[in-house]
Amino acid sequence: MEYPFEQIELEGKLIRTFQNDVDDEELKWHFDLKDRWVTILESNGWMFQLDDSLPNKLNSGDKIFIPKFAWHRVIKGDGDLKVSIEEVE
């Protein structure tokens, strides 16, 4: 399966980068199998949306908790989006 981001693992965390030329259509609604803490490292106008909620702008330094099985997606902004993801056992 192809993903719309590049990813490296660093000290137990996933560092994920979405390029600014990613196709909107690839940023699909999805859910994950584990709880996650996501820290925004770099964002320029990107937004995050949880199911049944309105999109929220992402800013560098923001920390978001995403419960497992919670539908969510990101919405493209300008520039790249870089996040650090920590899965919670």
Partner 1 sequence: MRNVLEILREYVEDKENPTLVVKEGVKMSEGLKYHIDNNLSLTNNIFRTYSPAYFDLVNEVRDLYEQGLVQLNEEDTLMVESDLGKVVIVDNQEIYLDAPYIVEDEEDEDVLEEAKHRGKNVKLNKPFRTSGGPKKFAVYVKSKSGGIKKVSFGDPNLRVRNNNKGAAKSFRARHKCDQKKDRTTAGYWSCNVGRYAKQLGLSSSNSW
Helix/strand/coil for 61: coil
Residue with Cβ nearer partner 1 (55 or 67): 55
- Residue 41 C-beta: closest distance to partner 1, Å: 25
Full strand arrangement of the beta sheet holding 56-57: 56-57, 47-50, 72-75
Helix/strand/coil for 22: coil
Residue with Cβ nearer partner 1 (22 or 85): 22
Residues with Cβ < 8 Å from 25, sequence gap 6 or more?
Answer: none
Q: What residue has token string 């990813």?
A: 7
- Residue 11 C-beta: closest distance to partner 1, Å: 29
Residue with Cβ nearer partner 1 (1 or 8): 1
For binding to partner 1 (CB under 8 A), which residues are involved? 1-2, 21, 23-25, 29, 49, 51-55, 71, 73
- Residue 87 C-beta: closest distance to partner 1, Å: 21
Q: Tell me the two tokens of residue 39.
A: 């820290």
